[in-house]
């Protein structure tokens, strides 16, 4: 009888030790099979969270126990999370409970319209394009930030890569970009430099958007900017082909024809003097700085080179420009570009 009791006691100790060991391993041991990014949307339910996390972790029973203890089903936070080697069940459950998400990089560049920006952002943050378009086209928000309308508010978006929480709301996103916009203008004496041209910030961005659409050659941007500044000061229409494409919303147009120049729109700089009402794209930082540091010269015209190398021929007189334009037109015809 004594031996039986001792055996039972020893067995109980062994079972207890095994259970304790299991508990330590299950709750405090490495629970991650492989490093993974998890995106838990604001529209996700608890089942969606489990479907995302469980294939990437071990110790499911311990996870469920601890999740139930912390009422994770009712309290988990949406976000972008990373589970990585060394994390235990407690770490993982608390991460979702407390919303300890990892920021994402949001990149913006080469965007022509707010609607296109909305589509691009919808792939990078937890907001759909409809929500984003609504905020980007908000007259109230534009006025709140000091802009005449949503189209001029578009100038706050400076192309770059920014860190955001994936769950940032569209309005929070715009407000953050406005802060970045103010910081951008405070750097490198940009506000002081723009006084050379007599343009305000929106006007600089608008002219920079035209320069950016005219050329991707950074070394040529200040010269092209100088042509447009000369035209503005002389009251000569800018006659910028990219504004025709924007006016027509036909960004695939390869050749501007005479009939296009008559298209009725405030963005048509062939029939309207001065700058268009707002930027025609999101200009690069190089293009903005090119306008701020525009080259002083007496050129009034420029035309793409017939070599199609991305550069332009510049002219002081209409006769010089016409000769350059004819050479370019001949090459267009030769290449059958219509």
The Cα 278–Cα 320 span in angstroms is: 31
Residues 6+ apart with CB under 8 A from 150: 114, 136, 137, 138, 139, 141, 142
pTM score: 0.86
Write out the DSSP string of 121-185. Answer: HHTTSSS-HHHHHHHHT-HHHHHHTT-SSHHHHGGG---EEEEE-TT--HHHHHHHHHHHHHHHH
How far lies 308's CA from each of 42, 253, 327, in Å? Answer: 49, 17, 11
Look at residue 7 in the predicted model and tell me its pLDDT: 52
The Cα 125–Cα 158 span in angstroms is: 17
Look at residue 215 in the predicted model and tell me its pLDDT: 95
Q: What is the pLDDT along the chain (338 residues), one digit of tens a residue?
A: 555 545 544 444 333 433 444 445 566 779 899 899 999 999 999 999 999 999 999 999 999 999 999 999 999 999 999 999 999 999 999 999 999 999 999 999 989 999 999 999 999 999 999 999 999 999 999 999 999 999 999 999 999 999 999 999 999 999 999 999 999 999 999 999 998 889 999 999 999 999 999 999 999 999 999 999 999 999 999 999 999 999 999 988 888 888 999 999 999 999 999 999 999 999 999 999 999 999 999 999 999 999 988 899 999 999 999 999 999 888 888 887 76
Look at residue 105 in the predicted model and tell me its pLDDT: 97
Look at residue 256 in the predicted model and tell me its pLDDT: 86
What residue spans in the chain does CATH classification 3.30.1490 cover? 25-98
| Domain covering 25-98 in this structure, CATH number | 3.30.1490
Look at residue 155 in the predicted model and tell me its pLDDT: 97
The Cα 290–Cα 221 span in angstroms is: 6
Look at residue 27 in the predicted model and tell me its pLDDT: 67
Look at residue 331 in the predicted model and tell me its pLDDT: 87
The Cα 111–Cα 115 span in angstroms is: 9
Task: State the DSSP H helix or E strand holding residue 76, giving kind and residue range, or none if neither.
Answer: none
């Amino acid at each position: 009888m004594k031996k039986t009791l001792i055996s039972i006691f020893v067995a109980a100790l062994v079972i207890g030790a095994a259970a304790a060991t299991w508990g330590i391993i299950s709750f405090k041991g490495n629970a991650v099979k492989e490093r993974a990014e998890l995106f838990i949307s604001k529209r996700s339910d608890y089942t969606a969270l489990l479907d995302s996390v469980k294939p990437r972790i071990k110790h499911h029973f311990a996870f469920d126990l601890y999740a139930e203890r912390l009422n994770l089903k009712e309290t988990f936070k949406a976000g972008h999370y990373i589970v990585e080697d060394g994390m235990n069940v407690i770490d993982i459950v608390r991460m979702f409970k407390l919303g300890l998400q990892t920021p994402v990089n949001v990149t913006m560049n080469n965007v022509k319209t707010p609607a296109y920006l909305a589509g691009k952002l919808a792939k990078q943050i937890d907001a759909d394009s409809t929500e984003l378009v609504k905020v980007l086209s908000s007259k109230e928000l534009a006025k709140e930030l000091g802009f005449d309308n949503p189209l001029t508010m578009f100038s706050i978006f400076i192309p770059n890569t920014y860190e955001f929480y994936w769950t940032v709301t569209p309005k929070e996103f715009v407000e953050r970009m406005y802060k970045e916009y103010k910081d951008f203008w405070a750097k490198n004496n940009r506000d002081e430099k723009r006084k050379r041209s007599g343009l305000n910030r929106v006007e600089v961005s608008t002219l920079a958007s035209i320069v950016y659409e005219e050329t991707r050659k950074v070394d040529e941007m200040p010269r092209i900017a100088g042509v447009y500044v000369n035209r503005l000061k002389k009251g000569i229409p800018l006659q910028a082909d990219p504004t025709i494409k924007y006016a027509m919303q036909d960004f695939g147009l390869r050749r501007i024809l005479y009939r296009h120049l008559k298209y009725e729109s405030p963005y048509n700089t062939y029939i309207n003097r001065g700058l268009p009402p707002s930027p025609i794209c999101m200009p690069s930082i190089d293009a903005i700085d090119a306008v701020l540091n525009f080259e002083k010269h007496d050129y009034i015209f420029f035309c793409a080179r017939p070599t199609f190398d991305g550069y332009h021929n510049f002219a002081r007189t209409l006769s010089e420009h016409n000769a350059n334009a004819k050479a370019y037109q001949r090459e267009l015809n030769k290449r059958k570009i219509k």
